[in-house]
Amino acid sequence: MPAHDQPPTAADLGLMQDSRPSPERLVTLANWQEPPFNRWAFQHFRELVPTATIARGEGPVTELPHAPRDIDSLRFASVSGAPTTVARMLTATYTDALLVLHRGAIVAERYFNGMTASTPHLLQSVSKSITGTVAGILIERGALDPAALVSDYVPDLAGTSFAGATLRQVLDMRTGTKFSEEYTDLKAEIRQYEQVIGWRPRTDPQPTDDLWSYICALSNARPHGAPFEYRSILTDLLGWILECAGGARYAELLSRELWARLGAEHDAEIAVDGHGHPVADGGISVTLRDLGRFGQAYLQGGFFNGSQIVPGAWVRDCWQGDDEAQAAFAASPQAARYPGGMYRNQWWVIDPVSGVYLASGIHGQSVFVHLPSETVVVKLSTWPEALDLRFAEEHVRAFEAIAAAL
C-alpha cells in the first residue's frame, strides 16, 4: 500500500501544534470525538476533561519478555474479499498502537500517530471489561452477588427504574433500561448523556452534571431480564455499585484491586463528572503495554504477576458464559456480529467453546484474547467513525490471522 494511503497523523494535520491553533487545528470539547480531531484527542484526553489517577502503586513493573516475529507481512482475507496483510490493515484502520503477546512474550509492539510507550490512550468501551473485572474480584470475595438486586448495594436505586434489576442483568446488559446508543442519532440518550458527564459542551437548558442523578431518572423500555442490548449507562451504574460494595471511590478501588497488582508500568486515569463520579463505561486511558498486561492476565486465567489477580472462575465465565446469556444474545439485534457468541461480564465472546473473546471500544479499541493459540492482541485506533462495522470485522480477521500464525 503506497505511503499516501496512510491516514494523516495529528502532527501532519497540525492539531494542537501551535500556541494558538487555527480553528481547523484546535481540539476542543465540541469536536474531540469527530475526525480528524480524535487523532489528537485520544492521546490527550486528560487535557479535555477532569480525570482521576488510577495509581500503579509502588511495586515493581511486571516485565514482558520479547520474542519478535514479523507479523506485518501476514496475509488474510480482507472483509472486502481481497487478500491483504496485517501491515495494510494497520494503515487502513487508523492504528495508534498495536501489541501482540504470544505465551506472554511481546511478538510485536508498534506505535503510530505520535503515540509512545508512555502515552495513555482513551479506551472507550474497553473500559467496560476493566470495570467488569473489578466486579469479578468483589464477587469472588463475597462483597457482591450476581443474583442480588442492584438496589441492595445502591439504596438510592430502590425507587427508580432499576428497582428489581439484578447485578447479573447489569453485567450482561439485560435490564429493561431505555438508553439508545445510536451515535449517529442526535436525539439518542447517549447524546444527552455526553453532556451529563461533561464530554460535550452543555446546552441550555443544561442537563444535570451528576451521573448518579441521571441514572436514577432513567426509565424502562421493557421488563428487566430482556434480551441483550448494548447500553453504556449500565456499566456506569456498575461503577456506582462497585463504589458502594467496595467502600472506596472507583479510581482508588481499581488501583488497589487490579492496577497495582498487575505490576503496571504507568498510572492509568479515568474521566470523572462534575461530582467526581467515574465514567466507568468508557473513560479509562492506559498505555499499550499495561493494557497488554490486563489481557495477558485474562489469557492466564487470572493468574499474573505471581498471584491470582482475577478469580479463575470469573475469567472462565467471561468467555464460557451460560445458555441463558447465549440465548439473550441470540435474540438481540447484535447476534449476527458474533454468531454463537454472547456478551458476558462486559466482554464480547466470539467462541465460547475454545475461548476467543474481546474487549471493544468505539473508534477502534480492542483487547483480543485467543486461548487456543495463547495469543493476546491489543489495538488502539482512532477510526473516523465511532462504530465502523467493516473496520471491526477487519480487526477480528487480522487478529485471528495473527493467532493462527503463532
Q: Could you tell me the smallest distance in angstroms from the CB atom of residue 138 to a copy of itself?
A: 14
**Catalytic residue at 213?**
no
**Which is nearer to a copy of itself, 195 or 334 (by Cβ)?**
195
Q: How many CB atoms lie within 10 A of CB 202?
A: 14
**Which is nearer to a copy of itself, 248 or 371 (by Cβ)?**
248
Alpha helix (H) residue ranges in 19-101: 38-41, 86-92
Q: Could you tell me the smallest distance in angstroms from the CB atom of residue 374 to a copy of itself?
A: 31
2 Cβ partners below 8 Å, 6+ apart?
none
Listed in order, strand segments (DSSP E) in 6-132 are: 51-54, 75-77, 83-85, 95-102, 105-111, 121-122
- Candidate list 19, 22, 80, 125, residue with the active-site label: 125
Q: Which residues bind a copy of itself (CB under 8 A)?
A: 16, 19-21, 26-29, 44, 46-53, 55, 118, 154, 156, 204, 212, 240, 243-244, 249, 272, 274-277
Cell numbers describing residue 106: 511481546
**Which is nearer to a copy of itself, 194 or 229 (by Cβ)?**
194
**Which is nearer to a copy of itself, 284 or 403 (by Cβ)?**
284
**Which is nearer to a copy of itself, 49 or 371 (by Cβ)?**
49
φ, ψ of residue 253 to 5 degrees: the values are -65, -45
Listed in order, strand segments (DSSP E) in 140-298 are: 268-271, 284-286
Q: Could you tell me the smallest distance in angstroms from the CB atom of residue 241 to a copy of itself?
A: 9
Which is nearest to 27 in space by CA: 122, 126, 127, 112? 122
Q: Could you tell me the smallest distance in angstroms from the CB atom of residue 158 to a copy of itself?
A: 14
d(CA 113, CA 119): 11
48 Cβ partners below 8 Å, 6+ apart?
27, 28, 29, 32, 41
Q: Could you tell me the smallest distance in angstroms from the CB atom of residue 214 to a copy of itself?
A: 12
Please list the active-site residues. 125
